[in-house]
Amino acid sequence: MTNSNSSISKHYHQLTSVQRGQIQAMLDSGITSRTVIAQEVGCHKSTISREIKRGSVLQRDSSYLLYEHYYADTAQIYYEKRRKNCYQRNPLKHYAVFLRMLSRRFKAKFDATSIDEFVGEFKRTMPGYPCPSTPTVYRYIDQGLLDISNIDLPMKLKRRRNKRHHSHGGHALHKKHLGNSIEQRPKEVEDRKAPLHWEGDLVKGVRRKNQPALMTLTERTTRFEVVIKIPDYRASTCQRLLQ
């Protein structure tokens, strides 16, 4: 039995602009064999056939007869347009590696700093992979396209834009709703004359929900204060102790 060995991979891969220039130069010199061109360029002959078909343009010779001519520039423009359309249809697939690492990082660490720092770190450590801009990542999160949300990002609520600030219904887009504002309390409470009105606060040493904290309760009229150490500062824990 005769074994046929070949160093050329049969898997399809994208050609570079330099390889397209090689193809045009060989065709212009009279070399039309797809096999010969494939061996010179370093790809499978079927890749060469598809490439020549996509990059060929109808021309007229001196006798006004139509013929096809391959242009490397035309093929490169076609490739870039096709790649852009593919990216627009599925940007999440385009940034798959980045988004997978982003999710793993912010799901595992509550004290992660910011998306912007992660983007910078990814660009430094993974230069060969596509990386979206910081605003693009925030937009994906706001649109619910990722498996992380704003609550997973401790720095999100502190983030400010130098440009105009968009708001909806008078509330910031990423502002947490923490209940009624202290400015909305009844007027009789404001002068501290009515008894049995309490103010509550939390004193936290570390920004982690599972760390101990101090709950303070102050009676507004007598200024009597109660300080309670709580195991964590989750909302459910605070509500349970108050009840």
Tell me what the mean pLDDT of segment 226-233 comes to.
Answer: 80
Q: 227 pLDDT exceeds 90?
A: no
Cα–Cα distance, 98 to 126 (Å, whole number)? 9
Mean pLDDT of the chain: 77
Under a CB-based contact definition with an 8 Å cutoff, are residues 20 and 55 in contact? yes
Q: Tens digits of per-residue pLDDT, 8-26?
A: 444 456 788 899 999 999 9
The domain ranges of the chain are 17-89, 92-159, 189-242
Give the per-residue pLDDT at 3.
Answer: 47
Q: Which two tokens stand for residue 140?
A: 């994906």
Give the per-residue pLDDT at 156.
Answer: 57
Give the per-residue pLDDT at 143.
Answer: 82
Nearest to 216 by CA among 234, 238, 243: 238
Cα–Cα distance, 143 to 213 (Å, whole number)? 34
pLDDT tier, 198 (very low <50, low <70, confident <90, very high otherwise): confident
Under a CB-based contact definition with an 8 Å cutoff, are residues 51 and 75 in contact? yes
Give the per-residue pLDDT at 178.
Answer: 57
Which element (helix H / strand E) includes 24? helix 17-28
Q: Tens digits of per-residue pLDDT, 129-149?
A: 889 998 988 888 888 888 887
What DSSP designation does 156 have?
Answer: G
Nearest to 199 by CA among 179, 225, 173, 178: 225
With helix as H, strand as E and coil as C, how does 92-137 read? HHHCHHHHHHHHHHHHHCCCCCCHHHHHHHHHHHCCCCCCCCHHHH
List the CATH code of the domain at 17-89. 1.10.10
Q: 170 pLDDT exceeds 70?
A: no
Q: Which two tokens stand for residue 27?
A: 């065709």
Give the per-residue pLDDT at 7.
Answer: 44
